[in-house]
Amino acid sequence: MSTYDQFVSLRGVTKRFGDLEVLHGIDLDVAEHKVVCLIGASGSGKSTLLRCINLLEQVDAGTIVVDGQTITGTKVDVNRLRQKIGIVFQSYNLFPHMTVLQNVTLAPRKALGISRVQAEGHARALLRQIGLDDKADEFPDRLSGGQQQRVAIVRALATGPKLMLLDEITSALDPQLIGEVLELVRELAETGMTMILATHEMGFAREVASKVCFLDAGVIYEEGPPEQIFSAPREERTREFLARVLEAGRL
Amino acid sequence: MGQFLHEFFSPLDFIRSTPQVWDGFKLNIQLMLVAEALVLVLALLLAIVRGLPGRAALPLRAAAIVYTDFFRGTPLILVLLIVQGFAQLNYVGLSSQTLFRTGLIALTLVYTAYVTEVYRAGIESVHPSQRMAARSLGLSYMQAMRYVVLPQAIRRVIPPLLNDFIGLQKDTALVTIIGLTEAVAQAGFYSSNYLNDTAYMVAAIFFIFLTIPLARFTDHIIRERESRERAQAV
């Protein structure tokens, strides 16, 4: 398969923070409408990899192509690019001084130049889909963690992205709130959204991913379909990691 | 004791000097209002410049740092004399309008330096993840600043900012040394005419009455915020 059949294509992506090399020559392909899950211990480079894909971090070497456009070059309009790539963070990062509706409409209005009426209509429709239209005029601190994270996902969707990056979005949630967020991600996957998720939810990864990549110390150690990675991992390190996760789950 | 009371709290002099001191005090109020408006805007611009990222903005950042270091470190009274010196060098004359401008410029220069630091502290107190979230939505650096960072930063620094304004209000009295006949100067005239210092007390009362509303307003804002944060913690 050539690079251009892929919606997202990384070649030799390397990222350093000072002397610390956090990504060593990552190669990764994501086909359109597919979901790729990144698994691995904290500090393995999952978050950094996602941040490189929407240029929140500059890569030190290698190329990233998204939707046929090489984004690691110099003449890239980062603001335009980021409207096409939504990212959701572990800590929601909603804007606390704005209502839910203002959070969702900010980027469409200011970055895309859509009128207020139109942006609010679209935002309310999105909020209705996730059952939070009655919270539109509340401030984020009035919402539960799960609700905040769902609003954060809707906020990222409001600019009409073609790719969503989800960075451990359930890690800060109470266990009983994780389900509602994963449900939303599942629905998103069913609509054919291309997604890359960094996650610790192995069960969920197994269910929605078309490909799972195991990262360790800035390298993709093993990748494959979820059945293979979770049932018959080839690499020793993958086995060790999965055994640790399984053990933690039992405790 | 009687002598002391007569010197500072003579009812006759109190009544007689009040219109004269008030006449001067109007100038203090004008200076304060115009200077505060200018400081609010200029300091915000300077704070934004100080935070600009990248190597290209280095000269701008450096200039902003030199500015704040200089004007925060120089006594206002010296700045007043220096600005006045500049005005005289350019032969702009000594009309009361020129004097007013001289005082206004000096006050604005010094207090802009203070308030820049207040704003900057506020901007830095907003967690970087907020800016990152805004940028990740496709907002430009300045849009993220304007819609996400500044509204949160400014809300947080209102109490220290008002505190600096109380300082500015009192420091309008210092313009008396460049020859502006504001409240303190008028009180001085009265005192030497009638050989009685009650007019100084009148001036003091004016200044106090001007700062008290601002001080109570600051308290109110702080209290409101505390109760809101407590409500959130529950």
pLDDT tens per residue, range B39-75: 999 999 999 999 998 899 999 999 999 999 999 999 9
Give the DSSP H or E segment for A69: strand A69-70
Share of chain A above pLDDT 90, in %: 79
Half-sphere exposure of A230 (CA within 13 A, CB side): 20
Place of tokens 């308290």: B219
Give the DSSP H or E segment for A36: strand A35-39
Residue B138 touches chain A, beta carbons under 8 Å: yes
The least confident of A34-38, A231-235, B25-29, B143-147 is: A231-235
pLDDT band at B184 (very low <50, low <70, confident <90, very high): very high
Please give the residue of chain B at the shortest CA–CA distance from A142: B232
How far is A39 from A211, CA to CA, in rounded Å?
11
Task: Give the pair of three-digit tokens for residue B132.
Answer: 């990152």
Using an 8 Å CB-CB cutoff, list chain B residues near A87. Answer: 136
Please give the residue of chain B at the shortest CA–CA distance from A102: B147
How far is A72 from A64, CA to CA, in rounded Å?
6
pLDDT at A251 over 70: no
Residue B129 touches chain A, beta carbons under 8 Å: yes
Interface A-B: count of C-beta contacts within 8 A: 59
CB contact under 8 A, B130 and A89: no
Please give the residue of chain B at the shortest CA–CA distance from A55: B136
How far is B56 from B61, CA to CA, in rounded Å?
10
Question: Residue A85 phi/psi, 5° resolution?
Answer: -125, 110
Query: Which segments within B12-103 are labelled E, that is strand?
Result: none
Task: Give the pair of three-digit tokens for residue A6.
Answer: 């892929």
C-alpha distances (whole Å) from A83 to each of A38, A109, B45, B140 are 23, 12, 28, 11
Please say whether the beta carbons of B39 and B168 come within 8 A.
yes
Three-state DSSP at A138 gives coil
Task: Give the pair of three-digit tokens for residue B138.
Answer: 């496709």
For the purposes of burial, counting CB atoms within 10 Å of the CB of B128, is it exposed (0-12), middle (13-18) or buried (19 or more)?
Answer: exposed
At residue A52's C-alpha, the angle toward residues A243 and A105, to 5°, is 105
How far is A13 from A215, CA to CA, in rounded Å?
13
Model pLDDT, residue B92: 63
Give the DSSP H or E segment for A216: strand A211-216
pLDDT tens-digit profile of A52-84? 999 999 999 999 999 989 999 888 899 989 989
With CA atoms as reference, report the closest residue to B201 among B14, B11, B1. Answer: B14
How far is A152 from B144, CA to CA, in rounded Å?
16
DSSP at B145: I
Please give the model's pTM, rounded to 2 decimal places.
0.88
pLDDT tens-digit profile of B200-231? 999 999 999 988 988 898 888 888 877 776 66
Three-state DSSP at B234 gives coil
CB contact under 8 A, A89 and B129: yes
How far is B162 from B214, CA to CA, in rounded Å?
7
How far is B142 from B150, CA to CA, in rounded Å?
10
Place of tokens 């009409």: A160
Using an 8 Å CB-CB cutoff, list chain A residues near B140. Answer: 79, 111
Between helices B198-233 and B150-171, what is the axis angle to 10°? 160
- Find the CB nearest B130 among A93, A110, A112: A93
Q: Residue A167, by phi and psi: left (phi above 0), alpha (psi -120 to 50) or beta?
A: beta
Cα torsion at A62, A66, A72, A77 (round to 10°)? Answer: 180
ipTM value of the model? 0.90
How far is A165 from A171, CA to CA, in rounded Å?
15
Task: Give the pair of three-digit tokens for residue A130.
Answer: 């996730």
Task: Give the pair of three-digit tokens for residue A157.
Answer: 């969707």
